[in-house]
Amino acid sequence: MTELLSLDFMRQALLAALLVGIAAPLVGVFLVQRRLSLIGDGMGHVALAGVAVGLLTGQAPVLTALLAAVAAAVAIEVIRGRGRTSGDIALAVMFYGGIAAGVVIIAKSPSSSPANLTAYLFGAITTADQHDLWVFAGLAVVVLLGTWLLRPWLFAVANDEEYARASGLPVTGLNIALAVLTAVTVVVSMRVVGLLLISALMIIPNATAQLLGRSFRASVRWAVLVGVVSSVGGVVASFYAETPSGGTIVLLAIGFFVVVATASAAVARARAARHRRAERHDHEHGPGCGHAAVAHDDHVDYVHDGHLHAPHEGHYDEHAHAHDHTTDHTTEQANDHEPAAGGHEPKEAAPR
């Protein structure tokens, strides 16, 4: 690790990866909520045409890519706002036309080489110089401030666009703002993960976060954490493994998603196994029912034919076999955990 940090280009690469790891998931969370996960991919296609124009004219590719991506973002929202079937076709023509134009124009530019095309399509983070880093930092600040200031309204539109419109929110303006923020994020990330892979870094950390977070705010925090770890960790891994940084970053993010999804499924199955329904009884468990009571976390289980049954929403759940818990509690001791008054029937116990 010391060797890595001693290299100027790797320090710059790590800083660029950190910026992208924070910015991309912040914008992506609203795209996922609105089911626009592939918009970033399409904007990347158009941004390539902007890069090509910059190389052909000798201008800064970042600036021309930014102009092309922002113009595409506004056009996308105008087309989407029409709400017609032809809108999908128009978007497809724009996206594929962008990448086709980019390939052709780059081939005609004086500095044309396969390496130039590959660097922008799949990322070449180690080629970013200090000037690029300052530009990326400025654009990343724009994305962070934009999403932070607009987050309540962006969330309202993402959650229910029709209700937001009826409430008087400027939905069209907010949609354009989100599209522009997405375009800026694409340009910030193109040297880190590449124009063809940037959409993955906006979407996959948020897909992982949805499995971990219990609220929108928690999901955003998880998404940023996964994005930062994937970006920075991917750059470090690519340095030692001598692999392309963009692909390594995306594969690491996918790896996190697979691990979390597998663990979540295992936890869900385990909880379901512990929460099986027991058979219905001819009588109800409760104080004086004749079955031993055992304190279990925040409720009381009753020993019935070697099983522990707990009243839950009109039925009984089987929590475990009786021998898995100590049963030397008396019914009178367990009654201290019962409601003090009211005589509620166990079948109508409040959900835990």
Percentage of residues in the chain having pLDDT higher than 90: 8
- Are 289 and 187 contained in the same domain? no
> Would you tell me how many other CB atoms lie within 10 Å of the CB of residue 231?
32
Give, rounded to a whole angstrom, the gap between the first and last alpha carbons of the chain. Answer: 48
Does 321 score more than 80 pLDDT?
Answer: no
| Same domain as 154, residue 44 | yes
Domain that holds residue 162: 7-198
What percentage of residues in the chain have a pLDDT greater than 70?
Answer: 72
Entry pTM: 0.69
- Residue 158 and residue 64 share a domain: yes
Q: Which helix (H) or strand (E) holds 142?
A: helix 130-159
- Per-residue pLDDT of 116-139, as tens digits, reads 667 777 776 666 667 777 877 888
94-124 pLDDT, tens per residue?
Answer: 788 888 888 888 877 776 555 566 777 777 6
Mean pLDDT of 166-173: 84
Residues 320 and 194 in one domain: no
What whole-number distance in Å separates Cα of residue 277 and Cα of residue 226? Answer: 37
Long-range contacts of 84-93 (CB under 8 A, 24+ apart): 91/42
E-state strands within 90-130? none
Average pLDDT over the chain reads 76
- Summarised one tens digit per residue, pLDDT across range 176-213 is 888 888 888 888 877 777 777 888 888 899 999 999 88
The residue from 151, 181, 198 where one domain ends is 198
- Based on the fold, state whether residues 64 and 155 are members of the same structural domain: yes
User: To 5 degrees, how large is the angle CA 281–CA 285–CA 290?
Assistant: 105
- pLDDT reading at 337 higher than 60: no
Domain assignment present for residue 42? The answer is yes
Residues 41 and 169 placed together within one structural domain of the fold = yes
CATH number for the domain spanning 130: value is 1.10.3470.10
pLDDT exceeds cutoff 70 at 85: no
Considering the domain architecture, whether residues 63 and 178 belong to the same structural domain is answered as: yes
Whether 146 is covered by a domain: the verdict is: yes
Residue 265, domain member (yes or no): no
Q: Is the dihedral of CA 55, 61, 64, 66 positive or negative?
A: positive
Domain closes at, from 141, 175, 198: 198
Most confident of 29-33, 59-63, 185-189, 248-252: 248-252
Report if residue 70 sits inside a domain. yes
User: Within this chain, do residues 174 and 289 fall inside the same structural domain, yes or no?
Assistant: no
Which pLDDT does position 251 carry in this prediction? 92
More confident residue, 285 or 223: 223
Which residues on adjacent β-strands are paired with residue 79?
none
Range 168-193 burial, b when 16+ CB lie within 10 A, else e: ebebeebbbbbbbbbbbbbbbbbbbb
In tens, the pLDDT along 300-313 reads 776 766 666 666 55
190 shares a domain with 46? yes
Q: Is residue 335 part of a domain?
A: yes
Co-location of 288 and 186 in the same domain: no
Residues 172 and 303 reside in one and the same domain: no
Give the DSSP letter of residue 287.
T
- In the prediction, which pLDDT does 255 show? 93
Check whether residue 184 and residue 316 sit in a common domain. no
At residue 326 the predicted structure's pLDDT band, cuts being 50, 70 and 90, is: very low
How would you class 112 by CB atoms within 10 Å of its CB: exposed for 0-12, middle for 13-18, buried for 19 or more? middle
Taking the C-alpha atoms of residue 27 and residue 294, their distance in angstroms, rounded to an integer, is 50
pLDDT at 331 over 60: no
Pairing of strands 299-304, 307-312: antiparallel
Asked whether residue 72 is assigned to any structural domain, the reply reads yes
Q: What pLDDT digit, counting tens, does each position of 2-35 carry?
A: 767 777 777 777 888 888 888 888 888 888 888 7
How far is residue 7's CA from residue 29's CA, in Å, rounded to a whole number?
A: 34
Q: Tell me if 16 is assigned to some domain.
A: yes
Residue 250 lies in a domain: no
Average pLDDT over residues 225-251: 87
Query: What is the average pLDDT across 48-72?
Result: 85
**Does 284 have pLDDT greater than 60?**
yes
**How many domains are there within the chain?**
2
Alpha carbon distance 74, 176 (integer Å)? 6
Last residue in a domain, options 149, 171, 198: 198
Structure-derived torsion over alpha carbons of residues 120, 126, 128, 133, reported in degrees to the nearest 10: 120
